[in-house]
Structure 1
Amino acid sequence: MKRSLNRSRVKLYLWMGAAYLLFWMFVDLVSTPESFFKRVINNMWLVSYLTVLNFILFEYTIPFIRLTWKRVLLTPLFLFIHLMLYSFGLYAWRYIGIQLHIYFAIRMHPSIEKGVEYHFPYSLLSVLFFGVVRYTYDYRKLNADAQKLRMEKQEAELNYLKSQTNPHFLFNTLNNIYALAREKSDLAPESILRLSKILRFMLYEAGGEFIAIEQELKIISDYIALERLRYDESLRVNFNYDIEDMKQSLPPLLLIPLVENAFKHGVSETRHQPYVDMHLSVKSRQLNFVVRNSTEDVSEETSVRENIGLSNLRRQLQLLYTDYNLSVQQGESQFTASLKINLASHV
């Protein structure tokens, strides 16, 4: 198995080696302050060996064993080799340090076996230390990467929903202008002018993550004015709002689907006394938007089928907020959509 050297993993083990060294420096300072500096030099020599050995164990040996079940048969051999390296290998590394005069022989051992027995717990503790730190780091990093992936996926889905909503909104508006043009209405030029204002907003102001509520109100007012051009005096539109701070942030075009739905699937299908009644309030970061519109007489038991605008809005709310409620109700001759959002619950 050929694996390239990962620099970030090397840095991780260097940091773990430094932490393991600091741990033993603290132990030596408390237990044997008289030989503290000599023991620091000794620990630096031993920890350098154990850092490399643990790097090989956790980054190469264990993954190699896990790769296929056939290699499990080699596990006893690998374990034996590492056991020798952690015991006799460490003692041999100590001996090399003594010969190079960079290791202080503070404690003399009567035999190699006694020396290995004395230093072996030092190795085992390093395996435990490096293993716990390494797997804790990987677990946290995996969770962070998974969270980042989820956020990127949600952002991509949200952008997709917006790319669906905006053309859908534009398509319906163009249909309105087309109807005026077919009737050779003198209102067609004015409707095109209002559409250009809406397009300018969508292109240059609605591209960010947030806009001020006053901008959302402006685009709703422009859309209502554009819709009014299609109807005579029989259409009644009431739009009032109570907002304590016009500069509060809101995702762009979030409320438009409810307004559009009231006209396209309500007023346009009402033959007598069509109306749209809308009320928006935002107080203490609590948004409440209620839209009522006329419909043809239908049974109250008739199930409500959400169009693409409402379906996309519901999914956008799921991605944007943790505390919200969108409810729709079909009455005998009235359709009601109610949206409540805790603006402080934005994810």
Structure 2
Amino acid sequence: MIGRARTYYWWCQIGGWMAFWMFSTLVSYMYNQHVTLQSLIDRTVFVVAGIAVTHAFRHFILRWQWLQIRLDRLIWRMLLGVIVSSLLITAIVDAYKYVFHLMTPQEKSFEFGRFFSIFIIILIWSLIYILWHYVEKERRYQLDRLRLESMVKELQLKTIKSQLNPHFIFNALNSIRALIEENPGRAREAVTELSNILRNSMQAEKVETVSLENEITMVRDYLALESIRFEERLQVHVDVDPATFPLPVPPLMLQTLVENAVKHGISRAVQGGRVEIISRIDGDFHEIVVRNTGQLSDSFSAHGFGLQSTRQRLEILFGQRAGFQIENIADNQVEARVRIPLMQETSYSSVHKSFSI
């Protein structure tokens, strides 16, 4: 995709400047100006300088991510860039003429009219480049939106088949049945927790993001049900910065990571283990960490549907700065870490809220 975009850029860059070369030559001929070999060479030098300087200008724009900032700030920066680029092209052309003794007496002094003509050309180039960028950005946004809608629907189906599979539901129902006689109150709570999980799963296809608080609530219901089955074997600790509760996350993302921790970690350990869920602000990122007792085996795939959909949805919703990784961090501990860039500047409390299930 990147290679194709680069190819399009060079076709437009070279093709546009060559079109300018032919157009300016045709205009000179139509107005009965002398079209000599030297004038063609001069015009070619100007075009080559234009290609080199505008390409450097483009590299500078991408390097400092100008196209990611607000339009009111972008206008002034682009205007300054156009002025600098125009001065550079003027200097290159004048240096060429000076070296080869081609400068006329008028060209030996700065002419505002000549500089203004170059300025207009570079300004047009900049407007075309920005327009192309925003049209392409809008096209990618629409494609990503379609991909996200398709992925969320697929996630809904996969959730029912795998994440909330019949095996989990049967285990939960068996646990509830065992509680009916010995602890009817807890059995009623368990039925409510299971219905909440199913309801949230069915609604996942209707939204692109949910608040972390919503995800934490669903995960607590899931872990509460699992604690009936595992009893003392499952220890849970949640450490959440209250400022992260309203932050957006992909629906069922945290559920996927916690379910993965229980399925591949706690359930395989004879003595059970511990699941930790951490949510905090780390600089310009919202960081979510899920740690569990266990080890990633050689047969474990970090590219399974749940984990792969987590990566894809993070990239679509929050861009390439978002990240996800899962790895062994100790002899008997696995860590899944999600980093989501904050979408706007907000002041956050440093006070954390901790609780255990």
Cα offsets for 1:227-254 (capped at 9, x unmatched) = 334x142422212213142543122433
Letter in 2 for 1:177: I
Secondary structure at 1:278 match in 2: strand
Correspondences of 1:301-320 after superposition (within 5 Å): 302=298, 304-306=300-302, 307-319=304-316, 320=318
Cα offsets for 1:313-344 (capped at 9, x unmatched) = 12323332444543323478735123142542
Count of aligned positions:
234
Contact 2:292 2:333 in 1 (8 A): yes
Cα pair distance change 1:267/1:166, threshold 3 Å: farther
Match of 2:164 among 173, 177, 188: 173
Find the aligned partners of 2:206 and 2:144 in 1 and give their Cα distance. Answer: 17
Cα offsets for 1:47-97 (capped at 9, x unmatched) = xxxxxxxxxxxxxxx99xx9xxxxxxxx99xx87x7686679xxxxxxxxx
**Residue in structure 2 matched with residue 337 of structure 1 by the alignment:** 335
Find the aligned partners of 1:168 and 1:304 in 2 and give their Cα distance. Answer: 19
**Residue in structure 1 matched with residue 146 of structure 2 by the alignment:** 156
Shifted more, 187-196 versus 170-179: the winner is 187-196
Contact 1:169 1:260 in 2 (8 A): no
Deviation at 1:163, TM superposition (A): 2.9
Q: Does 1:259 align with 2:250?
A: no
Shifted more, 309-318 versus 325-334: the winner is 325-334
Letter in 2 for 1:305: S
Deviation at 1:221, TM superposition (A): 0.6
**Residue in structure 2 matched with residue 237 of structure 1 by the alignment:** 235
Cα pair distance change 1:244/1:294, threshold 3 Å: closer
Find the aligned partners of 2:254 and 2:169 in 1 and give their Cα distance. Answer: 22
Deviation at 1:262, TM superposition (A): 1.0
Deviation at 1:278, TM superposition (A): 1.0
**Residue in structure 2 matched with residue 214 of structure 1 by the alignment:** 213
Find the aligned partners of 1:212 and 1:184 in 2 and give their Cα distance. Answer: 29
For structure 1, the 5+ residue unaligned runs are: 1-61, 67-74, 89-124
Contact 2:279 2:289 in 1 (8 A): no
Contact 1:216 1:252 in 2 (8 A): no
Correspondences of 1:31-46 after superposition (within 5 Å): none
**Residue in structure 2 matched with residue 274 of structure 1 by the alignment:** 272
Cα pair distance change 1:155/1:335, threshold 3 Å: farther
Cα pair distance change 1:87/1:226, threshold 3 Å: farther
Cα offsets for 1:85-120 (capped at 9, x unmatched) = 6679xxxxxxxxxxxxxxxxxxxxxxxxxxxxxxxx
Find the aligned partners of 1:257 and 1:339 in 2 and give their Cα distance. Answer: 13
Shifted more, 129-138 versus 315-324: the winner is 129-138
For structure 2, the 5+ residue unaligned runs are: 1-14, 34-114, 181-186, 345-357
Cα offsets for 1:95-147 (capped at 9, x unmatched) = xxxxxxxxxxxxxxxxxxxxxxxxxxxxxx99989876655433322221112
Q: Does 1:139 align with 2:138?
A: no
Shifted more, 326-335 versus 147-156: the winner is 326-335
TM-score when normalising by structure 1: 0.52
Cα offsets for 1:205-227 (capped at 9, x unmatched) = 87444433322211111121233
Find the aligned partners of 1:340 and 1:247 in 2 and give their Cα distance. Answer: 15
Find the aligned partners of 2:256 and 2:322 in 1 and give their Cα distance. Answer: 16
Secondary structure at 1:245 match in 2: helix
RMSD, matched Cα: 4.4
Letter in 2 for 1:149: R
Cα pair distance change 1:226/1:164, threshold 3 Å: farther
Find the aligned partners of 1:195 and 1:304 in 2 and give their Cα distance. Answer: 28
Shifted more, 255-264 versus 320-329: the winner is 320-329
Secondary structure at 1:273 match in 2: coil
Contact 1:241 1:281 in 2 (8 A): yes
Larger Rg belongs to: 1
Find the aligned partners of 1:329 and 1:292 in 2 and give their Cα distance. Answer: 10
Letter in 1 for 2:143: K
